Structure 1
Amino acid sequence: MTWESGADLVVVGTGVAGLTAALRARELGLRVLVVTKDAAGAGNTSWAQGGVAVVRPGEHDPADSVRSHVEDTMTAGAGLCSRTAVRSILSAGAGAIERLREIGALFDTGADGALARAREGGHSAFRVIHAGGDATGAEVQRALSSAARDGGIPVLERHCVVDVARDERGAVAGVLALDAEGRPGFVHAPTVLLATGGLGQIYAATTNPEVATADGVALALRAGAVVADLEFVQFHPTVLYTPGGARGRRPLVTEAVRGEGAVLVDVEGRRVMAGEHPLEDLAPRDVVSAAINRRAAETGAGHVYLDATGIGGFADRFPTVFAACRAAGVDPTREPIPVTSAAHYACGGVVTGVDGRTTVPGLYAAGEVACTGLHGANRLASNSLLEGLVVGARAAEAAAKDARCGLRSRKPVSELALPSAAVVDRDLLQRTMSRSAGIGREAQELSEAATMLDRAGAVRALDSRQAVEDSALALTAQALLLAAQTRNESRGCHRRTDYPEVDDTRWRRSIALRLDASGWLIRTEPELVGGVA
């Protein structure tokens, strides 16, 4: 080891969940160290366009309520949400927003001075608050980053966490990381919070930034934690389409555009969502994505259009979308926007309670990397930032409480070495997963994809950021494929062409996985995830 350090809590990630946890932990008197493999703010939070779904006292639609928000979330989750978890997290939303505003976050307001509210897919009311029109995530990230900087919270940028170390009792003892030059070092800590974001880079086209390589899922699995619901990957219905099979992060066209009245039409001008769902263009994302894919295939165009020409002041209301469209040569005020679907958010992840605790003593998770029971089989639009704010703070409180109770390891760990793991060429992995584990899935293709990735894997030392990321993608892809093969039904954003119906008799439950002593993925009980409560 070339360097050593110590902390009460190591937070891995600088998005909404990670920085919220770090700030709360500092308030509680913990020594906090934040570690991120890139620049602070490089994760998904900054790219979130839509907003934060929350029912605030005194500022909501007359018929809206937290109960209504709970029901909308349960409906979107297609039978796999935990009602207890949903109620717990959403009920804490208003308080989380007030704390965020107290540290300087600025949300858009209406003429009456109240926070402006929008409506998005799956919501029965206007309850989504936003900032900068369609730049909510950027404002949330700015406020949290500024508060962390002003509060003197140390952030190790360009340090990639390779492994979560545990003592002889299995409790967390710290993290092994690589610095920007690839030199290994160790941070002693009795508690570690994973807030590493999503897994979008498993697919060739995604709304996720380049850093979303499933690191947290892999770290948790190798530390002995349980993951669940990985088969449920949400494909956002509307990303900007460009000819030629574009790869990497694609510009998002927030569904708040449809909330303002835009409609989906195919290349022949026919409405895409008419008759598909009672909410039509504001149906849950899985429904809209599937309908878009079907219509694009039927017409042979590879895309559909989002007609937003009837929205006044488009450039002011949606400046990020407007800029992306103009950069692609499209004027959304005069012509429909060509759109398609792309991998967006993971609905599952590391199994936790609503306080971020995992099945491993001293290990916590919050944000997109976690599976709290809030999302079930499909995320409701704009619940994501709220979950990061609520569970991030609770995870810090849980870590502080556990430390006070003496439940965490204080024993030093010696003789650490860089681990080795299977690594798969990223281009091959992304092409394989996009072809076989996208919106439409089938048993034989899933099995062949798993076999191909297994054969393509080469075991090597995780001595660079790329190796760490590629190994995380390989392990998480295999877990996703196993879960997708196991779930012989279509539910939420998991669509099996060979099992097109929902099967509540057999599959109204989460599929949980862990690594056995030999490093093989096996099914297990989800333990903490709420499942079907």
Structure 2
Amino acid sequence: MSRVVVAGSGIAGLVAALRASTRHEVTLLTKAAIAEANTRYAQGGIAAALFPDDSAQAHVADTLRAGAGLNVREAVEALCGDGPQRVRELIALGVAFDRDGDGLARGLEAAHSSARVLHAGGDATGAEIERALVAAVRTSSIRIVEGAFLLDVSVEDGAAAGVAVRLADGTETAIAADAVILATGGWGQLYSHTTNPAVATGDGMAAAWRAGAALADLEFTQFHPTALAIPGSFLVSEAVRGEGAVLRNARGERFMLDVHPDAELAPRDVVARGIAVEMAAQGGRPVVLDATALGADFLARRFPTLGAACRAAGLDWSREPVPVTPAAHYAMGGVATDVHGRTTLPGLFAVGEVACTGAHGANRLASNSLLEGLVFAHRAVDVLGEPWPDAPAWLDEPAVGLGAPAAEAPGDAAAFDRERLQSVLWTAAGVHRDRSGLRAAAAELAGMAMPAPGEDANLLQLGRLVVAAALAREESRGAHFRSDFPLPADGPAHHTVLAAPAPVPTSTEVTVPC
């Protein structure tokens, strides 16, 4: 029986741990409470071709269209092909998706050609999935360590050999393992406006980078078009627009009708940019989302979580439109993997938002994120113990390779400031980008002193890498928009591959206490 360490407790980490525990000795690490993960906050649902009028092929076509030519087709086919069976397994595990008179209820979201999005509790899909998976994990043989911060992936003889962690009491220790599965989520806290919880600081990506694994496509952050324009940036699900809500400017006009044929249901990058342009034209004032035509009873039944958030902010969205703004939502880039979650470092897997399988391309199709964590967690566990293959072909050609950005000059660095970092990323590497802004951001981030190991260090390291990748991509594609290069480049789309530094060998002789 081999030893497997899973870092992260969202859908990807919990599913990987559960599946691996049937054949392996599994330790599940989470830096907060086990239920505190991005999955818990997912509102809209999970997409899968489960219905007679739909097909995996149609789901593939929609995902490719949204991805703006950068998807890895093999990953997309795995995502959409495996999805229906994996969702059925969630149902068997006890996930209570909403139902209507004909069986499972389903919704339509932006850029989908069919209504295929399952939801639970109206707009509490992630919370219901997290509930069921946490319950299953707690009754399994899995060793759970809460309050365990991932410091680094340990490397011995060119392979992952465990992890170094900081426990809740401040002590640091190491856990030896035959395989490490990163499921630590994304980097939403890089930005001053984000729908992500406070734990989303890119810890797994930064640890994988330091261990020598390649990262890819870090310039692609998806900005959700509609977060409430109030402190906390509470997400207003895509499903609200899918049910018929519309965006209006200060004059009450539906401006998205002039932006894209699908108006409010255009791909997320198109809607986010459309809102940003309209906000600029209004002197920075938010646009509004008008759901009043849906009626108070329907809104209360379909979107109870959103209704509660509006009331807490003193808003009644059944009677008046609510102010919204784009916010950082999802990282399409991450630790580069094949279709089984294998990274370029033997023994190290990455699944869920921490990974870049290429399935999302340059822009994630709505409600494919929970599905990605679910599908690739299964696929990673299925190949545990098998010989490690060469790096996936999509990392070769066409690709642009980058080295590490220059670090700050010794003794000449400014003190790190997280709020300043977030402001720099939002301004220079947000919805709109250009060379001058990105170069200024790179210089300012290089001038920040690297903090002690922890969240701030990970954010600064990733911030530098995101800016470097955005500077290298001199075109506009999907979620990456350069006003100085407003069109896609000629020729085939390329990936941005960040060549990792040589890892520092570390020891894994100590094991964490139960």
CA distance in 2, matches of 1:277, 1:260: 18
Work out whether 1:39 is the aligned partner of 2:33: yes
In structure 1, the residue matched to 2:150 is 161
- Give the CA deviation at 1:254: 0.3
CA distance in 2, matches of 1:401, 1:105: 31
| Residue identity matched to 1:456 | M
In structure 2, the residue matched to 1:15 is 10
* TM-score (normalised: structure 2): 0.91
CA distance in 2, matches of 1:301, 1:452: 25
| Residue identity matched to 2:219 | E
SS in 2 for 1:212: coil
In structure 2, the residue matched to 1:342 is 327
| Residue identity matched to 2:65 | T
- Give the CA deviation at 1:504: 3.4
Work out whether 1:488 is the aligned partner of 2:464: no
- Give the CA deviation at 1:515: 2.8
Work out whether 1:117 is the aligned partner of 2:111: no
- Give the CA deviation at 1:152: 3.2
SS in 2 for 1:218: helix
- Give the CA deviation at 1:449: 0.8
Work out whether 1:226 is the aligned partner of 2:209: no
Query: Could you give the per-residue CA deviations for residues 413-465 of structure 1, whole angstroms, max 9, x where no partner exists?
Result: xxxxxxxx9883211211111111111111111111111111112364x2xxx
Query: Could you give the per-residue CA deviations for residues 48-97 of structure 1, whole angstroms, max 9, x where no partner exists?
Result: 000001001xx24x3x2211111110011000001121011110001101
In structure 2, the residue matched to 1:94 is 84
In structure 2, the residue matched to 1:414 is none
CA distance in 1, matches of 2:141, 2:256: 50
Work out whether 1:181 is the aligned partner of 2:169: yes
CA distance in 2, matches of 1:458, 1:296: 35
Work out whether 1:389 is the aligned partner of 2:363: no
SS in 2 for 1:493: coil
Residues 150 and 204 in structure 2, CA contact (< 8 A), matched pair in contact too: no
Residues 236 and 289 in structure 1, CA contact (< 8 A), matched pair in contact too: yes
Residues 199 and 346 in structure 1, CA contact (< 8 A), matched pair in contact too: yes
Work out whether 1:455 is the aligned partner of 2:447: yes
| Residue identity matched to 2:32 | D
Residues 27 and 142 in structure 2, CA contact (< 8 A), matched pair in contact too: yes
The within-5 A match list for 1:385-424 is 385-402=370-387, 424=416
| Residue identity matched to 1:157 | E
Residues 247 and 255 in structure 2, CA contact (< 8 A), matched pair in contact too: yes
Work out whether 1:241 is the aligned partner of 2:229: yes
CA distance in 1, matches of 2:258, 2:434: 26
- Give the CA deviation at 1:402: 4.9
CA distance in 1, matches of 2:467, 2:112: 30
Work out whether 1:255 is the aligned partner of 2:238: yes
CA distance in 1, matches of 2:24, 2:58: 37
| Residue identity matched to 1:216 | G
CA distance in 2, matches of 1:69, 1:364: 26
Work out whether 1:362 is the aligned partner of 2:362: no
| Residue identity matched to 2:43 | Q
CA distance in 2, matches of 1:514, 1:428: 27
SS in 1 for 2:320: coil
Query: Could you give the per-residue CA deviations for residues 24-43 of structure 1, whole angstroms, max 9, x where no partner exists?
Result: 1012x100000111111211
- Give the CA deviation at 1:400: 4.1
Residues 207 and 250 in structure 1, CA contact (< 8 A), matched pair in contact too: yes
Match for residue 515 of structure 1 among 500, 503, 508: 500
SS in 2 for 1:306: strand
In structure 2, the residue matched to 1:527 is none
CA distance in 2, matches of 1:366, 1:458: 27
CA distance in 2, matches of 1:340, 1:431: 16
- Give the CA deviation at 1:302: 2.2
Work out whether 1:295 is the aligned partner of 2:278: yes
CA distance in 2, matches of 1:332, 1:120: 20
Residues 212 and 502 in structure 2, CA contact (< 8 A), matched pair in contact too: no
SS in 2 for 1:315: helix
Unaligned runs of 5+ in 1: 1-5, 406-420, 463-467, 520-533
In structure 1, the residue matched to 2:336 is 351
CA distance in 2, matches of 1:518, 1:70: 37
Match for residue 333 of structure 1 among 318, 341, 344: 318
In structure 2, the residue matched to 1:211 is 199
| Residue identity matched to 1:286 | D
| Residue identity matched to 1:73 | T
Residues 70 and 90 in structure 1, CA contact (< 8 A), matched pair in contact too: yes
4+ long deviations beyond 4 Å = none
- Give the CA deviation at 1:395: 1.0
- Give the CA deviation at 1:301: 4.6
Unaligned runs of 5+ in 2: 390-406, 409-414, 505-514
Q: Over aligned residues, Cα RMSD in angstroms?
A: 1.8
- Give the CA deviation at 1:154: 1.4
Query: Could you give the per-residue CA deviations for residues 306-333 of structure 1, whole angstroms, max 9, x where no partner exists?
Result: 1111113101100111111111111111
Across the two proteins, how many residue pairs are aligned to each other? 479
Give the direction of change, closer, same or farther, for the CA distance of 1:184–1:301 in structure 2 (3 Å limit).
Answer: closer
* TM-score (normalised: structure 1): 0.87
CA distance in 1, matches of 2:20, 2:458: 28
Match for residue 310 of structure 1 among 262, 278, 293: 293
Give the direction of change, closer, same or farther, for the CA distance of 1:515–1:82 in structure 2 (3 Å limit).
Answer: closer
- Give the CA deviation at 1:342: 0.5
Match for residue 252 of structure 2 among 269, 277, 285: 269
In structure 2, the residue matched to 1:417 is none
Residues 77 and 379 in structure 1, CA contact (< 8 A), matched pair in contact too: yes
SS in 2 for 1:515: coil
Using the TM superposition, name which of 36-45 and 272-281 deviates more.
Answer: 272-281
In structure 2, the residue matched to 1:106 is 96
Q: Percent identity?
A: 49
In structure 1, the residue matched to 2:56 is 66
- Give the CA deviation at 1:518: 9.4
SS in 2 for 1:511: strand
Work out whether 1:323 is the aligned partner of 2:337: no
| Residue identity matched to 1:144 | L
Residues 30 and 400 in structure 1, CA contact (< 8 A), matched pair in contact too: no
| Residue identity matched to 2:214 | V
Query: Could you give the per-residue CA deviations for residues 194-247 of structure 1, whole angstroms, max 9, x where no partner exists?
Result: 0000100000110000000011110111111111111010000000112xxx4x
| Residue identity matched to 2:62 | D
Work out whether 1:50 is the aligned partner of 2:44: yes
CA distance in 1, matches of 2:133, 2:482: 40
| Residue identity matched to 1:267 | A
CA distance in 2, matches of 1:518, 1:395: 23
CA distance in 1, matches of 2:503, 2:245: 52
